[in-house]
Amino acid sequence: MPLILVTGATGQVGRRFTARLLERRRPDTEVRVLVRDEERGAPLGALGARIAVGDLREEKDLRKAMEGVHAVVNIAAAFRGVPDEEAWAVNRDAAVALGRAAVEAGTSRFVQVSTNLVYGASRGRPLTEDDESVPGGPMWGAYPASKAEAERELLTLHRDHGLDLRIGSLAFVYGDGDPHLRNALRWAGNWAGNQRLALVHHADVSQALLRLLRAPGGTAGGSASGRRYNIVDDAPATAVELHRINGAAIPEGMGERTDDDPWFGITSNARLREELGWRPLYPTMWTARDAGAL
């Protein structure tokens, strides 16, 4: 029976994806989640997941979790508010160790969940998957740097050792009751009114990751193996819109500020649409609002 391992399954993205994966899994498929806290994993267990308790950073826990696994979805991440060394340990070191364990175990699929922040500096246009990571920009730091390095090392495992790797690069994720959209006001309040944020709803993250997981692999034409896909909706939100959708007053002076780089952090979803047939259920945050999906 095929077995899928999900890491980071109790986080904001992971628990929503895992619930949808369990709901939509094929009858002959089982899902295992690696969690550090068994109690936090219990709601997923109640939905049918097999619980493995351990730390992704511990080799013995990692190898035990990998036993019998056919596919991996690595959502585990350390970002805001953690020390730099923890970000590197989780985002790069543990991800690469998981990739190596997948190669040794003969795992058929490996989905690495990344971030659009890995692109770094702006290019004056929407960023595409063929753009290299260029350190720089206001959001650069240990989180995007460690994620970018993990991508590079996992792609080396793909090229040199046959890891069937697919990378999903997430924009700013919101929806399904996640407070992320509200929390964005902490820093968007200092932006120019027309400064934009690239977004994607949790439901659209889940359907994209499911497509990456199920897409053909190998070396044949049309394979998703060894490719990155930007997961982002169709319409970035401005700072003014972020305040309006949250029912917050527009900060004084916002209209007088200027945005020096209107393309910073804006990514294209064309590859995901054209190669995997993905279409966002919520093309904008306003459609999610109208559907009651915030």
54-100 confidence digits (pLDDT tens): 999 998 999 999 999 999 999 999 987 889 999 999 999 999 999 99
In the chain, at which residue ranges do the beta strands (DSSP E only) sit?
A: 3-7, 30-35, 50-53, 71-74, 109-115, 165-170, 172-174, 196-197, 199-201, 227-231, 237-238
Residue 191 resides in a domain? no
Question: Which residue do the tokens 């929503």 mark?
Answer: 16
> What one-character-per-residue DSSP string does 26-95 give?
-TT-EEEEEES-HHHHHHHHHTTPEEEE--TTSHHHHHHHTTT-SEEEE-----TTS-HHHHHIIIIIIH
Are 175 and 253 in contact by the 8 Å Cβ rule? The answer is no
Q: Which residues pair with 197 in a beta bridge?
A: 237
DSSP 8-class letter at 118: G
Phi-psi domain of 38 (left: phi exceeds 0; alpha: psi -120 through 50; beta: other) = alpha
pLDDT of residue 147: 98
Determine phi and psi for 65, rounding to 5 degrees.
-65, -30
Rounded to whole angstroms, the Cα distance separating 207 from 202 reads: 9
Residue 254 resides in a domain? no
Q: Label residue 220 by pLDDT band (50, 70, 90).
A: very low
Residue 260 resides in a domain? no
Average pLDDT, the chain: 94
Number of domains in the chain: 1
User: What would the pLDDT profile of 2-13 be if each residue is shown by its tens digit?
Assistant: 999 999 999 999
The answer to whether residue 101 scores a pLDDT higher than 50 is: yes
The answer to whether residue 274 scores a pLDDT higher than 60 is: yes
Are 69 and 3 in contact by the 8 Å Cβ rule? The answer is yes
* Residues in the chain, overall count: 294
Q: Label residue 1 by pLDDT band (50, 70, 90).
A: low
Rounded to whole angstroms, the Cα distance separating 257 from 132 reads: 30
The answer to whether residue 37 scores a pLDDT higher than 50 is: yes
Q: Which residues pair with 127 in a beta bridge?
A: 267
Residue 250 resides in a domain? no
**Cα 94 from chain centre:** 16
pLDDT of residue 217: 77
pLDDT of residue 27: 85
Phi-psi domain of 131 (left: phi exceeds 0; alpha: psi -120 through 50; beta: other) = beta
The answer to whether residue 167 scores a pLDDT higher than 80 is: yes
Contacts of 92 (CB under 8 A, 6+ apart): 146, 147, 149, 150, 153
Token representation of residue 186? 């902490």
The answer to whether residue 223 scores a pLDDT higher than 60 is: yes
Q: Which residue range forms the structural domain that includes residue 51?
A: 3-171+201-232+268-279
pLDDT of residue 219: 47
Over range 205-233, report the average pLDDT: 87
Q: What percent of the chain clears pLDDT 70, i.e. is strictly above it?
A: 98
Q: Which residues pair with 34 in a beta bridge?
A: 7, 52
Window from 34-43, 58-67, 214-223 with minimum mean pLDDT? 214-223
Residue 263 resides in a domain? no
Phi-psi domain of 226 (left: phi exceeds 0; alpha: psi -120 through 50; beta: other) = left
Q: How many CA atoms lie within 13 A of 7 on its CB side?
A: 30
Give the CATH number of the domain where residue 56 resides: 3.40.50.720
Residue 256 resides in a domain? no
User: What would the pLDDT profile of 227-247 be if each residue is shown by its tens digit?
Assistant: 999 999 999 999 999 999 999
Are 57 and 93 in contact by the 8 Å Cβ rule? The answer is yes
Residue 65 resides in a domain? yes
Residue 107 resides in a domain? yes
